[in-house]
Amino acid sequence: MLEFELQKIGLSEKEASVYLATLRLGKSSVQAIAKEAKINRGTTYNIINSLAKKGLMSSYQESKKQYFFAESPDQLELLFKQQLEEIEHNRKRLKELLPEMKQMDNKEKDKPVVRYFEGKNGIRAMVEDMFNVKKGTEVLMIYPYDEMSKNFSDNELLSWRKKRISRDIKVKAFYTRKGDEGINSQNSVSKKLSIEEFVVESDIAVYENRVRMASFGDKSVGIIIENKNIAETLKTLFKLAWKDSLK
């Protein structure tokens, strides 16, 4: 419906109804417009004033009676252009304010931020978070390959791998997997752990100042902890384990 389409470009539901009603009627009294739009007279009058401010409605006096008429639909294009200009102005203003706001946010930089995720879509969002790191970042991981492949399709796993490679994100990982097949990928160094010796049932990844932990099963859950001290400590533990694995 036209009312719905006009709402998409910035008119309220009632503004769209009154504008289209007046467009259909031609010059009309507020009573006639209210009846056509199925809105009470008082509200209609307020909406007419709102539309007039937007350049979409005009009025004139005739025989001591006030009539209203809708401006040409071409005015909608002008209104939309004005809205775009206002959005661009606000975008530039926000860009100017961001550095100051980020400085305010830094006053609690030592306080861990913990985000919780549930279900497969939650785990997907956690994986996508990793792709926001700086180009060339190293991600340290330990994960159960079989659980990953059980919960996500080959196409999804391939898509994430391609996205990681395109962003030059490097991975160093321990993993468990049934069978003898290994895992090789560009910008990735992996070491397979013995299933009999090591139990790995969760995915853990450490990158920049974040730690990602995800558990799979009937109800997949996960958290991302944002804290430099926690992340750096886990990176040290990982590096010690990696160094020991080379002996």
Top-confidence range, 184-188, 190-194, 235-239: 235-239
At 224 the pLDDT is 94
At 210 the pLDDT is 94
Q: Are 114 and 213 in contact (CB under 8 A)?
A: no
- Within the chain, residue ranges assigned H as helices are 2-8, 13-25, 30-37, 41-53, 74-105, 119-129, 145-151, 154-166, 228-245
Could you tell me the pLDDT band of residue 226, with boundaries at 50, 70 and 90? very high
Among 143-147, 176-180, 237-241, which is the least confidently predicted range?
176-180
Output the CA angle 178-184-190, nearest 5 degrees.
75
Q: Are 18 and 33 in contact (CB under 8 A)?
A: yes
Could you tell me the pLDDT band of residue 2, with boundaries at 50, 70 and 90? confident
Identify the residue with better confidence: 100 or 172.
172
At 106 the pLDDT is 59
Q: pLDDT tens, 31-77? A: 999 999 999 988 999 999 998 988 888 988 888 889 988 888 888 88
* 3-class DSSP assignment, residue 116: strand
Mean pLDDT of the 25-31 span: 89
At 172 the pLDDT is 92
* CATH number among 3.30.2290.10, 1.10.3720.10, 3.40.50.300, 1.10.10.10, domain 2-71: 1.10.10.10
* 3-class DSSP assignment, residue 109: coil
Q: pLDDT tens, 76-122? A: 888 888 888 888 999 999 999 988 887 776 555 567 789 999 988 89
At 110 the pLDDT is 63
Question: What are φ and ψ of residue 15, in 5° steps?
Answer: -60, -45
Q: In whole numbers, what is the pLDDT of the chain averaged over residues?
A: 87
At 138 the pLDDT is 93
At 107 the pLDDT is 54
What's the one-letter identity of residue 223? I
> Regarding the domain with residue range 112-245, which homologous superfamily does it belong to in the CATH classification?
Endonuclease Chain A (3.30.870.10)
At 104 the pLDDT is 73
Asked whether residue 220 carries a pLDDT value surpassing 80, the answer given is: yes
Q: Are 189 and 139 in contact (CB under 8 A)?
A: no
Q: Are 212 and 198 in contact (CB under 8 A)?
A: no
Q: How is the chain split into domains, by residue range?
A: 2-71, 112-245
At 184 the pLDDT is 64
